[in-house]
Amino acid sequence: MRLIANQCNKMNTKTQSNKAIALLNIDEIFNSSTQYKVPMYQRGFAWDKNQLAELIFDIKNSKINKKYFLGTLTVYRLSEKDDVYEVIDGQQRLTALFLIKCALQDNPNATSIEYECRDKASQTLKLFAKTKLEDCLDKKQNNTDFLDEDLLDRLQEIHDIFQSKDFIGDDVGKAFIDFKSKMKTLRLVRVEVPQGTDLNLYFERMNTRAEQLEQADIVKALLMKSIDNSHQCSLFASIWTACSNMSGFVQMGFPPELRKKLFKGSWMTLNN
């Protein structure tokens, strides 16, 4: 991240003023008029506790009152009139920042991030942004099929990091005051790709060259090219998510009611 920060510090003012490139602080990223849509061809939020801790401590160890650059957010503007963007690259960091703000109870705009064809993920993020932290964590203990269990786990992990001795040190109050101040110094460079760009192809090439994704994600992007129906898209999302979990039976990846509709009693065949 320090390398990214050094590169971003070298950006000249001419580049920053370019309409397609915006230098944004944390409040501008999650303001009330901007929405970021994560397309189905991308994976869901996949960071674990170690990656979240690395980001949190990078922020904690940054200097107060000095801009701290977190890299780029590559997007495609979906509407000329509205600030609605499809996220091409950077959604993991974007979602992590959203969760961190929720854990700090500095709640972002509830509609800032929407996961296409992943209603549970979108609804869970909205809940986090509208609900007190303790109520969100309580829902983890009494989880329903309507919430994304992985996102609930990640919010709990962020809370645990904030409660750890490594984060708090000798002064709880100062630790959180300083961290919130440093959050305000964060900067992301939002880069818009040109209108008319083939987003599936752009995503495939960018991530193949950067070796950021597993091969399965590239296959997923290619398969998504042929789906243009919202119902089929939602069904594809459910099946893909269930099949991607190798720790148990595929059938267990579906909520009980949907499982009953999809599979026969033996779970060996699909219902017509």
This prediction's pTM = 0.71
How many other C-beta atoms lie within 10 A of the C-beta of residue 64?
11
Helix, strand, coil content of the chain in percent (nearest 5): 50, 15, 35
The total number of residues written for the chain in this structure: 272
* Predicted local distance difference test score (pLDDT) of residue 244: 65
Task: Compute and round to an integer the Cα radius of gyration of the chain.
Answer: 20
Q: What distance in Å separates the CA atoms of residue 126 and residue 111, rounded to the nearest whole number?
A: 6
Which residues of 154-210 form beta strands (DSSP E)? 186-192
**Pairing verdict, β 68-77 and 83-89:** antiparallel
Q: What distance in Å separates the CA atoms of residue 143 and residue 148, rounded to the nearest whole number?
A: 9
Helix (H) or strand (E) holding 70: strand 68-77
Kindly give the confidence (pLDDT) of every residue in the chain, 272 residues in length, as a single tens digit, with 9 standing for 90 and above: 444 444 444 444 343 334 678 889 999 999 878 999 998 877 789 999 999 999 999 999 998 888 898 888 989 888 777 889 999 889 999 999 999 999 999 988 999 999 987 888 999 999 999 988 888 888 766 656 678 889 999 999 999 999 999 999 999 999 999 999 999 999 998 988 877 766 666 666 665 544 444 555 556 655 655 666 656 666 676 677 677 666 666 776 777 777 777 776 655 555 65
Please check whether residue 155 is in contact with residue 52, taking contact to mean a CB–CB distance below 8 angstroms: no
Q: Which of 189, 191, 193, 192 is nearest to 23 (CA)?
A: 189
Please check whether residue 47 is in contact with residue 92, taking contact to mean a CB–CB distance below 8 angstroms: yes
CB pairs under 8 A, 24+ apart, for 170-179? 175/60, 176/104, 178/60, 178/64, 179/59, 179/60, 179/104
Please check whether residue 30 is in contact with residue 108, taking contact to mean a CB–CB distance below 8 angstroms: yes
* Predicted local distance difference test score (pLDDT) of residue 200: 65
CA angle 247, 93, 60 (to 5 degrees): 110
* Predicted local distance difference test score (pLDDT) of residue 7: 47
In degrees and rounded to multiples of 5, residue 3 shows phi and psi of -65, -45
End-to-end CA distance of the chain: 51
* Predicted local distance difference test score (pLDDT) of residue 238: 67
Report CA 166 to chain centroid distance, whole Å: 25
Please check whether residue 97 is in contact with residue 22, taking contact to mean a CB–CB distance below 8 angstroms: no
